[in-house]
Amino acid sequence: MICCNSQHRTQQFPVKMDVVLEQGALQGLQNKTLLSNKPYVSFLGIPYAKPPVNDLRFKAPVKHPGWSGVLEAISEGDKCMQYAFMTDHIIGNEDCLYLNVLVPQVVKTQNEPNGKLAVMIFIHGGAFNYGCGSVNEYSPDYLLDENVIVVTLNYRLNVLGFLNLDIDECPGNMGLKDQLFAIKWIKENIAAFGGDADNITIFGESAGSASVHCHTISPQSTGLFQKAIMQSGCALNPWVLNENHRAAAFKLANNLGCLSNDPKEIVKYLKNVPAIDLVKGTKFKDETGFLDYKFVPSIESVTVSNPFLPAHPEQLVNDASPVPVIIGLNNMEGMIALIEHRISQFSDDRITDEISKLCKNRYSTEAITKIKNFYFNKCNIESETTKLEHICHLHSDVLFVKDFYRGFDNFLKQDVTPVYKYEFKFDGELNAVKNMVFATRPVLRHTIKGACHADEINYLFHGKLSGVVPKPNSPELEMCKMMGKMWSNFAKSGDPNSSDLSFKWLNASASAPEYLSIDGDRTRMAEGMINSNRLRLWQEISESVV
């Protein structure tokens, strides 16, 4: 347990804490939450595994040996090596397996079960190629206000996290195994921070959400957590798995000067390539479209030790141990594609090509024509707004929605634990990604309604992505409080509802697939399937290629 041996301190002032782990003792920082000024202690940059360098490169994580004396856990570890988003500049470090533990200082009168706090483990997004668990980007003030412990973490990305040569020296899914190792570390150590090791919720956004889905079905993760929250991503989305991982590995090796066809020789060669050159080598010229990354999760060979994904996710779900789940999407997920795509400037032929690339050339010419006619046939080609809305819908459906429902249906089929479905559509000043997409076109920012991919994040976390503090008495402030309360209620009890919310969030079932439409003071239960007419199109397309 945590015992503070000092009186009240100012924000971010080091305080000695009696937190003693098997690895060693820790010293943290005392802080106060953004909205309620509640005290909490942050323990930053805790190493949860050995640095994955030298001979440990491409291998599953290994236990950290610990440290002597007291570790001053007052600054974060480096983020994992990656391209800075939308640049050719590489940032981060190969030594990056660190986590942060943020603990509310709850008064003795608190009414948590057994005096232990529920634990929420956040897995960041970024297409398995970007991002980190930094509290500068994900400061969980709104969750800490509700008296839960929050843990954020780094995991290996891109080639360093997901190169797969189907051998024990390079088995694949190292990034997912990093997450698994961190979850095990948290379960083993969280009691020392006042947390309940038997009340852990994992949650994530985008690639983090797809990771959460993987943990709910992987035999390696069984029993490590009690609840899961999936925000805008599932393991069935087309950008999650690379089913041609060996080809990507051999091509990378060839590009970097290794002409061998022997996986062991390739691994030996790549272990001696500087990490920055490895990452640079992953920009293949034949990448076909948006979110088309080669080094992402993959199905592991049955010959490797302890595979995390020994089969396709749709097969693994049949043997999974179900847990209560919150699962949902934002209503304009595909708006994020407008960062790179300007469809209003494209000719008809370019639109056809764009659809084919987005679908990774998996469909026939007839199917592509059907898709184009559905989304663009009625489009007023003189209206930039209409065309942008249509391309948003197309990207939403291809990259997120159509496969989200397959994942959602799998959870419903288990029919033993509650499943809470939502659609986030709140459009406010903290919608940071939407603000970025339309930074140079403010008129379109207000004309095209809805929430972009990742726009819900700044209503759960305060971070530099928004650079904005919710104003007093604003809809954004109330949204932050609402999201923090629902997510923390679920983490504590498996039920997101409480008497101080103005609505009741009903769990979904196969016979009543209701969902919560999250939209500020207009939040309410809605019936049926989200975007049902668009889903019918993709069902028809799917059936035509079976």
What end-to-end distance do the CA atoms of the chain give, in Å? 56
Question: Dihedral angle at the C-alpha atoms of 468, 470, 472, 473, nearest 10 degrees?
Answer: 140
For the stretch 250-286, what's the b/e string if a residue is b when 16 or more beta carbons lie within 10 angstroms of its beta carbon?
Answer: bbbbeeeebeeeebeebbebbbebebeebbbbbeeee
pLDDT at 5: 39
pLDDT at 287: 61
**241 vs 15, 245, 517, CA distance in Å?**
44, 9, 29
Q: pLDDT grade, residue 440 (50/70/90)?
A: confident
245 as an active site residue: the answer is no
Determine, yes or no, domain membership for 138.
no
Determine, yes or no, domain membership for 398.
yes
pLDDT at 414: 81
Q: pLDDT grade, residue 9 (50/70/90)?
A: very low
Distance CA 289, CA 285 (A): 11
**What does the pLDDT average to over 265-273?**
98
- Whether 318 has a pLDDT exceeding 90, the answer reads no
- Those residues whose C-beta lies under 8 Å from the C-beta of residue 395, and which sit 6 or more positions away, are 290, 333, 334, 335, 336, 337, 341, 358
CATH of the domain at 357: 3.40.50.1820
pLDDT at 433: 94
- Distinct helix (H) and strand (E) counts, the chain: 16, 17
pLDDT at 465: 61
Please identify which of the residues 206, 209, 396, 466 carries the catalytic annotation.
Answer: 206
Proportion of the chain above pLDDT 90, given as a percent: 75
* Closest to 447 measured CA to CA, from 437, 432, 457, 459: 437
Q: How many domains does the chain have?
A: 1
Distance CA 185, CA 156 (A): 16
pLDDT at 33: 96
- Whether 495 has a pLDDT exceeding 90, the answer reads yes
Determine, yes or no, domain membership for 89.
no
Q: Are 519 and 422 in contact (CB under 8 A)?
A: no
Average pLDDT along the chain: 91
Q: pLDDT grade, residue 106 (50/70/90)?
A: confident
Determine, yes or no, domain membership for 440.
yes
For 362, the domain range is 109-129+147-545
333 as an active site residue: the answer is yes
Q: pLDDT grade, residue 288 (50/70/90)?
A: low
- Whether 6 has a pLDDT exceeding 80, the answer reads no
Please identify which of the residues 298, 453, 476, 517 carries the catalytic annotation.
Answer: 453
pLDDT at 113: 52
- Whether 114 has a pLDDT exceeding 90, the answer reads no
Q: pLDDT grade, residue 10 (50/70/90)?
A: very low
pLDDT at 381: 56
Q: Are 212 and 203 in contact (CB under 8 A)?
A: yes
307: left (phi over 0), alpha (psi -120 to 50) or beta: beta
Q: pLDDT grade, residue 531 (50/70/90)?
A: confident
Q: pLDDT grade, residue 239 (50/70/90)?
A: very high
Sign of torsion over alpha carbons 213, 219, 220, 221: positive
pLDDT at 86: 80
Q: pLDDT grade, residue 354 (50/70/90)?
A: confident
Considering only residues 414 and 28, tell me which one the structure prediction assigns the higher pLDDT. Answer: 28
- Whether 201 has a pLDDT exceeding 50, the answer reads yes
Name the amino acid, one letter, at 119. Answer: V
pLDDT at 416: 78
Q: Are 483 and 456 in contact (CB under 8 A)?
A: yes
Joined together, the tokens standing for residue 301 give 């060979």
Mapped onto helix, strand or coil, the DSSP state of residue 416 is: coil
Give all strands (DSSP E) within 483-539, no chain letters: 515-518, 524-526
Distance CA 179, CA 199 (A): 18
**What does the pLDDT average to over 109-129?**
84
453 as an active site residue: the answer is yes
Please identify which of the residues 205, 300, 333, 476 carries the catalytic annotation.
Answer: 333
Q: pLDDT grade, residue 313 (50/70/90)?
A: very high
Distance CA 289, CA 294 (A): 11
pLDDT at 352: 87
**What does the pLDDT average to over 238-264?**
97
Please enumerate, as own/partner, the contacts of 478-483 that have beta carbons within 8 Å and a separation of 24 or more: 478/520, 478/521, 479/426, 479/428, 479/430, 479/520, 480/35, 480/142, 480/430, 481/35, 481/142, 481/145, 482/518, 482/520, 482/523, 483/142, 483/456, 483/459, 483/518
Question: Of the segments 163-177, 352-366, 370-384, 409-423, which one has the largest average pLDDT value?
Answer: 163-177
**What does the pLDDT average to over 35-51?**
97
Distance CA 155, CA 172 (A): 13
- Whether 373 has a pLDDT exceeding 60, the answer reads yes
Q: pLDDT grade, residue 345 (50/70/90)?
A: very low
Beta strands 227-231 and 325-330 are parallel
**What does the pLDDT average to over 311-339?**
94
Determine, yes or no, domain membership for 72.
no
Proportion of the chain above pLDDT 70, given as a percent: 90
The tens digit of pLDDT for each residue in 60-100 reads 999 999 999 999 999 999 999 999 988 889 999 999 999 99
